[in-house]
Amino acid sequence: FKDRRDVDFNSLFIQLSNFIQTGSIEKIKETILRIGDYLRQSVLKEQDIKTMVIQNTLLLQRDLQTKYDSYQIPFHSADYIRDTINYSITLSKLLEKGIRYTTLLAKEITKNIGDSFVEQILVYMESNYSSDLKVAEVAELFHYSNTYFGRIFKNATGKVFHQVLDEIRIER
């Protein structure tokens, strides 16, 4: 998508992916509601909106499937996603379904990771190592201040965030 609104729409799906991976249920709901607000304000036709949502949902799911392939997560088929979106009568119903599905994905991903803060961070880093990960952004995703995050991470791993990230990138 080429115009400014589409960049914002796509960035909402990127944020949604991050919140799913970190199990931030409230942030998932908030982001999906923001997607809904964006769609309500758009001047696009209903079918164009559905096409945009289908494309971004499939990209989001494909990305998560790639990153969490070994986790046995019950992803929906592409046909199911297309049909669900195309046959949704109202945007509100579609958003409700989106919240339920992404919340389920978040719970499935995080239940396989473990309860340890550091385990969750390491899995997130291993799944997103090719992205431009920044300490401050990851700390915020996991609801920690930058300073506290850095101290806890170093105490648990014996290394700073960027050292561990570099090691992950070299291993891959």
Q: What is the pTM (predicted TM-score) of this model?
A: 0.75
pLDDT in tens, 89-148: 889 999 999 999 999 999 888 876 665 778 888 988 998 899 899 999 999 988 889 898
Contact between residue 103 and residue 28 where contact means Cβ atoms under 8 Å apart: yes
* Chain centroid offset of residue 9 CA: 14
In the block, tokens 């799913």 appear at 20
Residue 121 structure tokens? 């961070």
What are the pLDDT digits (tens) for 142-172? 888 989 888 888 888 899 999 999 999 998 8
pLDDT band, residue 10 (cuts 50/70/90): confident
Residue with tokens 């998560």: 64
Beta carbons of 157 and 164 less than 8 angstroms apart: yes
Cα–Cα distance measured from residue 39 to residue 23, given in angstroms and rounded to the nearest whole number = 24
